[in-house]
Structure 1
């Protein structure tokens, strides 16, 4: 029942996006049934006409013209469907369903990426859902075609000799059971191998992605990865080998049954009828032809049912994505009126889903409009997690986050995020144009070029881009363009920082995006941002304290708590953890000069 329900849901999607495909498939089913019947009948008719001593040749030709005329018409209908419409509609389906899936994927909560089980579901849905959908419909059409052929030729067989159906029933039952077990076994193996397949894919990516090249060339990383690949391959080989061995035995059993029932038993029975003069040679040939065809149609039905059952299992993954209801994303809520909001964090505690340990505990702070604050601390202090809460990637576990007095829970996440331009330390450079990398959208307004050029000037990358042939239309990276621009690590950070300069939002969040720059360059960039955006709220995240000395207020975090707060002068006077960290870094930097 679930198999049928899942497949019907998928077929409805196909009907919605590719209605012409449904219509052409209907005619293909009719044409296939007609052509199969003609091909069986023509054998008996021709042999009988040839054996007749007084047969009129003109009548033979006329009947052949009629038969072949119908056959050719049926073949034309099938050729239009399979030779043209199938490929066209498959492309149309993939195009439309991928758009829907991408839109759904964009609304997944961050928590779903943290959950291995949900991530596996998401991965399977996104990588296989598009083709599984159209494959489901194709299998359904294949099923209907074979059912139609089966009944068409089956009626012909019943008219000839009902006893022949016994062979058909036995063969179809065995084939169905074997295919059912085989498909179920392969799906189970596929699910069990999912994690190993992803690990194998990760190892392959490390070898071909440019960002890993230095480690590949200068360390023993290749040997380590090859060892890991061997471990993964052993698991994959064992899992698939066991399944292949069982599948081989199933196929042998099916072949033996087919030979005994379909060939040996049927031939002996029909030859006995010829011997007893119950039927003539024409009926013998037609019956054998019909039985062989019906058996093949049964295989087609069983194969289609297996594919439908197999697809239904994967459709579960697809439907998980389609029916996914985010808890944070796309949840709706209030609109924000203020252009310079006040943000309040009140006794906030947070732990990641399915985790017992709190990452943040009793966090309290207030960010006033146009204030420049810094959140500092060693790695693992909880700085980035706090920023994720400010961006409403998660709901807090305890306490409350407020924006202009409204709880984050009551405000649309899109309203909150449009207040920010955020740049993280793990920023990405995409294989699109310079302009699109800065704006993170396509060219839309007349002022876009001017905005991007100004942002590149402020980021210190103007001359580099101006020297390229296509200027702002230069494609970044060489992944899709041999003439693509490849920037150094520092230049990539400047390009990413240009996104901040190009944005028009009241709040700027910088989560250590300049960590690859030298301390002086990082300080200059941050100082420029603080100076240029006096009318904006700026939140700096850093563990390099020299870059945050100009902030209005500094919050020092340790083990998920705020342990000190104040401006640079106040914190230095306290001679607490901030003072120790600052002096240590200053001493280290002086020694390195």
Structure 2
């Protein structure tokens, strides 16, 4: 498994990555941003130059109306051009500015759905995705959104300052030095704030993630009964209050630090303004500065001051946005690392279907052990067995014996800590995860009914093959149920999307999951305790039906109850992560060990009409 490294991306690296995505995904935004930057820069420069030009024209007492008309026309034309550019850029930026954020949010979802199962269940990767979604691509002034909005303002600040710096330095170097010194003080103060934010935002994101979990689960339909029957309202309320208090505490600290950083810049700015204005007034009194020059310098200094403050603030916000993009970048890098791992993988001939479409698959475990991340001991120890092509194999044992872990390893959802798993003699580690997944059609204990149509639940696709869907429905024993629905296969399920969505009972939902597995028609059928919620008699009936569907396929039946075992050619009994017994039902009963003891206890529940002995024949 590729491990996600917690890399740190520099501000420059994040900026280059962002600009690359901007040009790739939304090139129109580049031109609208350029128009907005040029238009607003032009307007600021005009706002500084025009008063000085007008004062100069009036003090020089030019005669003739024509001169003043030319000045007026020039001012109007310049202002109109600048205004049009600025408005066009502003309108397009407002309408399109969130597009890149939305595109990235969709890409993140695609990444997290495409990573290996072991990666998706890794707490570090899960936390990274939560933070990337909440801080990197949320509909707030952070991450992708802030990078664009404040990046455009930052470029506008820089371009305008370049023009004003030349003017200010040429006319009064002293004022230029004072402005730069004040700007440096403000930048240093805000930089310290940004460093503090970078160090503390992970803790805030963790509290925010917990808050979202509580809010999401408090209103989840499936939790409604437990919340009310066990009076969990107080627990939710208390924990949510604690998290909100923690979040408010962080936000108060954040606001205080930001205020202090700005206060330092404000004090430096007051000292700068006092010195600059004193210098200008002294020049006017000494007649070394004309009225038009005073007007120009006064405007330049005022704009320079406001622009340097804006530049520092916008730069801080862009750098803060870069911090918010760290987790976004890590997930994109994880997807890239996974793609590199799989790019040269070729499906071996041994795993390609024959001309008639069949693909017999043999799965072999060779001295496989597995330890969950952060665990102190192995969950499975030295597991070796073979599921032969076309064989029905039962894997049984008490809860927690390691049965479900074996299924996840078999299907490529987990990778062994040690040992090898082979498909038709091919080491599973040489295949891509998708190549592994394609070999299996599982039915899990927990049903996953999506807020889609019945057909799309059987065949999760935009346009399912309806005749194949109906065939799978018929095989799974749901024909009458689907026929009774208002729109048949097109009936929406659950009420999350559609108010008229239907809900299935536990048994019906399990049959729907079976239909999904039958529709996939993979070479290996895996039934991982799909009947755990059913009573023993119903379970027995379901397994009899499953046994019919598994004809010709390699099949693994898993349960802590033994209704499945009589339909299987071979049974493996698992205890404490180890294989302790293996053989046919008759052989294990004759041995009289753990399997026989468990079967004897459960046998009475499987026999109908009091015939408890029938299962041992």
TM-score > 0.5 by shorter chain:
yes
What secondary structure is seen at the aligned counterpart in 1 of 2:98?
helix
Matches within 5 A, 1:404-483: 404-444=424-464, 448-483=465-500
Unaligned runs of 5+ in 1: none
How far did 1:334 drift? 3.8
How far did 1:407 drift? 1.5
Change (3 A) 1:484 1:280: farther
The superposition leaves residues 155-195 of structure 1 with CA deviations (integer Å, 9 ceiling, x where unpaired) of 23234423221331122112211221122222222112222
What secondary structure is seen at the aligned counterpart in 1 of 2:104?
helix
2:376 pairs with 1:376? no
2:71 pairs with 1:63? yes
Partner of residue 52, structure 2: 44
2:131 pairs with 1:116? no
| Cα pair 1:11 1:133 within 8 Å, conserved | no
Residue from 5, 11, 17 that aligns with 1:9: 17
Partner of residue 488, structure 1: 505
Partner of residue 282, structure 2: 272
Matches within 5 A, 1:58-457: 58-85=66-93, 87-88=95-96, 90-91=98-99, 93-130=100-137, 132-133=143-144, 135-262=146-273, 264-324=274-334, 325-326=337-338, 330=342, 332-335=345-348, 336-337=351-352, 339-444=359-464, 448-457=465-474
2:587 pairs with 1:570? yes
What secondary structure is seen at the aligned counterpart in 1 of 2:567?
coil
Change (3 A) 1:327 1:116: farther
| Cα pair 1:146 1:301 within 8 Å, conserved | yes
Q: 2:340 & 2:283 partners in 1: Cα distance?
A: 74
| Cα pair 2:186 2:262 within 8 Å, conserved | no
Q: 2:164 & 2:228 partners in 1: Cα distance?
A: 66
Q: 1:430 & 1:492 partners in 2: Cα distance?
A: 11
Q: 1:126 & 1:367 partners in 2: Cα distance?
A: 42
Q: 2:178 & 2:484 partners in 1: Cα distance?
A: 78
Pairs aligned (count): 587
The superposition leaves residues 117-143 of structure 1 with CA deviations (integer Å, 9 ceiling, x where unpaired) of 333223323444446345424433322
| Cα pair 1:328 1:394 within 8 Å, conserved | no
Q: 2:59 & 2:490 partners in 1: Cα distance?
A: 78
Q: 1:567 & 1:22 partners in 2: Cα distance?
A: 70
Matches within 5 A, 1:550-561: 550-561=567-578
Q: 1:90 & 1:199 partners in 2: Cα distance?
A: 26
Q: 2:106 & 2:247 partners in 1: Cα distance?
A: 32
Change (3 A) 1:480 1:58: farther
Change (3 A) 1:249 1:206: same
Bigger mean CA offset, 317-326 vs 209-218 = 317-326
Residue from 28, 34, 56 that aligns with 1:26: 34
Residue from 523, 531, 548 that aligns with 1:531: 548
Unaligned runs of 5+ in 2: 1-8, 354-358, 611-617
Bigger mean CA offset, 432-441 vs 221-230 = 221-230
Task: Tell me the C-alpha RMSD between the 2 structures.
Answer: 2.7
How far did 1:360 drift? 0.6
| Cα pair 1:431 1:478 within 8 Å, conserved | yes
